[in-house]
Amino acid sequence: MAIKFIEETKTFKLDTKTSSYIFRVFEGNYLVHYYYGATIPDTEVEELRFRANYASFCPDSPSAMVYNFSPDVTPLEYSTFGAGDFRLSAFAVENAEGNKVTDLRYVSHKIYSGKQPIPGMPSTYVNEDSEADTLEILTEDAVTGVLVTLIYTVFNNHGVITRRVKVENKTDKPFYIDTVHSACIDFPGMDYEMIDLYGRWGKERAVDRYPLHHGIQSIKSKRGSSSHNHNPFTAIVTKGTTEDHGDCYGFNLVYSSNFSIDVEVDGFACTRLVMGINPDGFKWYLEPGEEFHSPEAVMVYTNEGLGEMSRIFHRFYANNLIRGKWKKAKRPLLINNWEGTGMDFDDDKLVSFAKHAKDIGLEMLVMDDGWFGKRDDDKSSLGDWVVAEYKLKGGLSHLIDRVNALGLKFGIWFEPEMISPDSDIYRAHPDWCLHTEGRDKSIARTQYVIDYSRKEVRDYIYGRMHDILSNNNIDYLKWDFNRNLTEVSCSQLPKERQGEVFHRFVLGTYEIMDRLTKDFPDLLIENCSGGGGRFDPGMLYYSPQIWTSDNTDPIERLTIQFGTSMCYPTSTMGAHVSACRRTGYETKMNVALWGSFGYELDPDKLTAEEKAEITAQIELYHRYYDVIHYGDLYRLITPFENEFKVAWQHVSEDKNEALVTVIQIKQAYNQFFMLRLKGLDLQKTYKDTETGKTYSGAYLMNAGLNLTYKPNGDGQSYRIHLLAE
DSSP SS3 for 511: helix
CB contact burial 529-553 (16+ within 10 A = b; e otherwise): bbbbbbbbbbbbbbbbbbbbbbbbb
The yes or no reply on residue 417 touching ligand GLA (CB under 6 A) is no
CB–CB of 92/82 below 8 Å? yes
Q: Which amino acid is at 639?
A: P
Which one from 141, 550, 602, 632 is the annotated catalytic residue?
A: 550
> Could you give the string, one character per residue 149-178, with x where binding to ligand GLA holds by CB under 6 A and - elsewhere?
------------------------------
Q: Where are the alpha helices (DSSP H) in 361-423?
A: 395-405
- Pairwise CA distance, residues 518 & 510, whole Å: 12
- Comparison of 369 and 657: residue with beta carbon closer to ligand GLA: 369
- Comparison of 451 and 480: residue with beta carbon closer to ligand GLA: 480
- Pairwise CA distance, residues 43 & 77, whole Å: 22
Instruction: Give the CA distances from residue 440 to residues 350, 429, 471, in Å, rounded to whole numbers and listed in that order.
Output: 40, 17, 39
CB–CB of 563/647 below 8 Å? no
When binding is defined by CB under 6 A, the residue of 550, 586, 602, 657 that contacts ligand GLA is 550
Give least dist CB 496 to ligand GLA, A: 37
Contacts for 709 with CB less than 8 Å, ≥ 6 apart = none
Secondary structure element (H or E) that encloses residue 95, with its range: none
In the residue annotation, 480 being an active-site residue is answered as yes
- Pairwise CA distance, residues 346 & 339, whole Å: 15
Give least dist CB 424 to ligand GLA, A: 19
- Pairwise CA distance, residues 598 & 606, whole Å: 16
DSSP SS3 for 391: coil
- Comparison of 378 and 688: residue with beta carbon closer to ligand GLA: 378
> Rule CB under 6 A: which of 313-372 touch ligand GLA?
338, 368-369
- Comparison of 224 and 246: residue with beta carbon closer to ligand GLA: 224
Give least dist CB 445 to ligand GLA, A: 8
> Could you give the string, one character per residue 511-530, with x where binding to ligand GLA holds by CB under 6 A and - elsewhere?
-----------------x-x
Give least dist CB 415 to ligand GLA, A: 7
Which one from 103, 141, 384, 480 is the annotated catalytic residue?
A: 480
Q: Where are the alpha helices (DSSP H) in 663-720?
A: 697-698
When binding is defined by CB under 6 A, the residue of 531, 569, 598, 639 that contacts ligand GLA is 531
Which residue, among 281, 387, 305, 368, has the nearest Cα to 638 in the 3D structure? 305
When binding is defined by CB under 6 A, the residue of 413, 510, 535, 686 that contacts ligand GLA is 413
- Pairwise CA distance, residues 485 & 435, whole Å: 10
DSSP-derived letter for residue 619 is: H
Give least dist CB 478 to ligand GLA, A: 6
- Pairwise CA distance, residues 255 & 248, whole Å: 22
CB–CB of 160/321 below 8 Å? no
Contacts for 378 with CB less than 8 Å, ≥ 6 apart = 343, 369, 445, 446, 447
Give least dist CB 369 to ligand GLA, A: 3
Give least dist CB 560 to ligand GLA, A: 13
Give least dist CB 509 to ligand GLA, A: 17
When binding is defined by CB under 6 A, the residue of 547, 562, 585, 673 that contacts ligand GLA is 547
How many residues in the shown chain lie near ligand GLA by CB under 6 A? 11
Which residue, among 358, 364, 366, 379, has the nearest Cα to 339 in the 3D structure? 366
- Pairwise CA distance, residues 291 & 104, whole Å: 16
CB–CB of 576/598 below 8 Å? yes
Give least dist CB 447 to ligand GLA, A: 10
- Comparison of 334 and 646: residue with beta carbon closer to ligand GLA: 334
Give least dist CB 403 to ligand GLA, A: 18
CB–CB of 453/193 below 8 Å? no
- Pairwise CA distance, residues 249 & 315, whole Å: 16
Give least dist CB 122 to ligand GLA, A: 21
- Pairwise CA distance, residues 368 & 695, whole Å: 46
DSSP-derived letter for residue 589 is: H
CB atoms within 10 A of CB 99: 11
- Comparison of 338 and 695: residue with beta carbon closer to ligand GLA: 338
Which residue, among 147, 129, 125, 126, has the nearest Cα to 138 in the 3D structure? 147
In the residue annotation, 60 being an active-site residue is answered as no
> Rule CB under 6 A: which of 482-501 touch ligand GLA?
482
When binding is defined by CB under 6 A, the residue of 168, 384, 480, 500 that contacts ligand GLA is 480
Angle at 37 between CA 32 and CA 40, to 5 degrees: 90
- Comparison of 12 and 413: residue with beta carbon closer to ligand GLA: 413
- Comparison of 411 and 531: residue with beta carbon closer to ligand GLA: 531
Q: Which amino acid is at 33?
A: H
- Comparison of 175 and 338: residue with beta carbon closer to ligand GLA: 338
- Comparison of 94 and 550: residue with beta carbon closer to ligand GLA: 550
- Pairwise CA distance, residues 296 & 635, whole Å: 27
- Comparison of 304 and 480: residue with beta carbon closer to ligand GLA: 480
CB–CB of 557/339 below 8 Å? no
Give least dist CB 201 to ligand GLA, A: 8
- Pairwise CA distance, residues 102 & 80, whole Å: 6
Angle at 131 between CA 130 and CA 133, to 5 degrees: 80
Nearest residue to the partner ligand GLA, using Cβ: 369
Burial class (CB in 10 A: 0-12, 13-18, 19+), 450: buried
> Could you give the string, one character per residue 432-461, with x where binding to ligand GLA holds by CB under 6 A and - elsewhere?
------------------------------
Give least dist CB 530 to ligand GLA, A: 4
The three state secondary structure string of 445-463 is CCEEEECCCCHHHHHHHHH
Given the rule CB under 6 A, which residues bind ligand GLA? 338, 368-369, 413, 480, 482, 528, 530-531, 547, 550
- Which residues are the active-site residues? 480, 550
